[in-house]
């Protein structure tokens, strides 16, 4: 009788691209800009048929690139039109 085991490997899916290490935005608070692939609407998510951009400061909080202030995750996705 042999030993059976299950091995679960993480599935890596590229969901977009990121540019890191910046000092952009009106007050230099934008450290990272993530350009994300299109996603369909699902649940409370409105969907982004052309993708979206998310700006983040160094700790990873969403940032409004015009004001340089942190914003909620709900308001942190800027649709690509």
Residue 71 reports pLDDT greater than 90? yes
Task: Report how far residue 46's alpha carbon sits from residue 21's, in angstroms, rounded to the nearest whole number.
Answer: 29
**How confident is the model over 11-54, as pLDDT tens digits?**
667 788 888 888 877 677 788 899 999 999 999 888 999 999 99
Angle 71-72-73 from CA coordinates, rounded to 5°: 120
Q: For residue 33, give the H/E element and its range.
A: strand 32-36
pLDDT value of residue 40? 92
The rounded distance, in Å, linking the Cα atoms of 18 and 73 is 17
């Amino acid at each position: 009788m042999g030993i059976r085991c299950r091995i679960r490997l993480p599935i890596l899916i590229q969901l977009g691209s990121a540019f890191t290490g910046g000092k952009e935005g009106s007050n230099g608070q934008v450290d990272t800009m993530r350009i994300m692939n299109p996603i369909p609407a699902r649940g409370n998510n409105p969907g982004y048929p052309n993708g979206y951009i998310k700006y983040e400061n160094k700790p990873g909080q969403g940032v409004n690139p015009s004001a340089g202030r942190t914003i909620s995750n709900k308001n942190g996705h800027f649709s690509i039109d």
